[in-house]
Amino acid sequence: MAQDGPASMNLPKVAVDWEDTPKAAYSVFESRTAQNCAAYLLPALQSLKDANPRVALLDVGAGHGSISATLARLIPEGHVTAVDINPDVIPRAKVIAESYGATNISFQAGDIHKLPFEDNTFDVVHCHQVLAHGKDQVGALREMLRVTKPGGLVASREGDMDSEIWWPQTPGMQKAHDYARMLITAHGGGGCSSSGRQLLSWALEAGPKRSQITPSYSVWHFTEKEDKERWGGGMLNVALAGHVRERAVKAGVKEEDLDEMREAWKEWIERDDATLIMVQGEVLIRK
């Protein structure tokens, strides 16, 4: 089961409705592609495609679907089914798919804990940064395995917020990290801020033998101005604004701390020497 790491600031928990994410946050998600978020999967996907080009791929928790659409472009004779628990993301995901010229893709609502598919349906079942937002990661992986064909692949990549390091190390950035971590662990009644390091453990608990699992780790960094504007902008416009901020204040987070975090993010976006680095855990499970 998910275990929490240590917290360095004693913040009250704030329930966040990420599904209500304002448009300002779109670019954080929509810059994601199969190439920059699922590179660990691509060689195995190519091998499956070489054996049978009609690859059936399920992307769970697809969100705005830029990873789903770019995966679809890689398997033109195959098909991607993009599923999200929140049906409201589907219209935007369709726009993104069109912008990539991906036509071999369909969208539907569905819960990773109860996928609306028969056993052994897909060659590949993928999720990116979805398990961190729930409580039962092992159950979710078991469900992904259930709908995967024998010989097929489950692929998952999860961030590890507790591994984050950043520069400059100002007090405001430390508070901003603690606050973001609190939002993740409060989500859905208990998300996980150390998913990247626990992913292999969850995969083993889900049932496969160690020899069926290929773990890997990659590093996210936000150092170029454009990337910092996206990430820091997401923090400024979502985590530290609107309904999320209102709920934080109601839960007891001080306005002056929230303002200090906003100033810290603005400075971080502007400074040429600023950076933020986070480990991503990845597993490929052969069923």
Ligand X SMILES: C[S@@+](CC[C@H](N)C(=O)[O-])C[C@H]1O[C@@H](n2cnc3c(N)ncnc32)[C@H](O)[C@@H]1O
Shortest approach of ligand X to residue 267 CB, angstroms?
A: 26
Shortest approach of ligand X to residue 134 CB, angstroms?
A: 5
Residues 253 and 241: their CA atoms lie apart, in Å, by 13
Shortest approach of ligand X to residue 255 CB, angstroms?
A: 27
Whichever of 88 and 255 has its CB closer to ligand X, that residue is 88
Shortest approach of ligand X to residue 270 CB, angstroms?
A: 26
Integer CA distances (angstroms), 30 to 213, 222, 270, in order: 29, 15, 22
Whichever of 61 and 196 has its CB closer to ligand X, that residue is 61
Residue 91 C-beta-side C-alpha neighbours within 13 Å: 1
How much of the chain is helix, strand and coil, in % rounded to 5? Answer: 45, 25, 30
Q: Which two tokens stand for residue 156?
A: 């998952």
Q: Which residues bind ligand X (CB under 6 A)?
A: 19, 29, 32, 60-63, 67, 84-86, 89, 111-113, 128-130, 133-134
Shortest approach of ligand X to residue 203 CB, angstroms?
A: 18
Backbone angles phi, psi at 215, to 5 degrees: -85, 150
Shortest approach of ligand X to residue 97 CB, angstroms?
A: 13
Q: Which two tokens stand for residue 275?
A: 């950076």
User: How many of the other CB atoms lie within 10 Å of CB of 56?
Assistant: 19
Whichever of 20 and 270 has its CB closer to ligand X, that residue is 20
Backbone angles phi, psi at 113, to 5 degrees: -85, -10
Question: With contact defined as beta carbons under 8 Å apart, do 125 and 206 qualify?
Answer: no
Whichever of 174 and 216 has its CB closer to ligand X, that residue is 216
Residue of minimal CB distance from ligand X?
63
Question: With contact defined as beta carbons under 8 Å apart, do 162 and 181 qualify?
Answer: yes
Whichever of 102 and 274 has its CB closer to ligand X, that residue is 102
Question: With contact defined as beta carbons under 8 Å apart, do 146 and 115 qualify?
Answer: yes
Whichever of 69 and 274 has its CB closer to ligand X, that residue is 69
User: To which H or E segment does residue 195 belong?
Assistant: helix 195-205
Question: With contact defined as beta carbons under 8 Å apart, do 176 and 148 qualify?
Answer: no
Whichever of 66 and 104 has its CB closer to ligand X, that residue is 66
Shortest approach of ligand X to residue 273 CB, angstroms?
A: 28
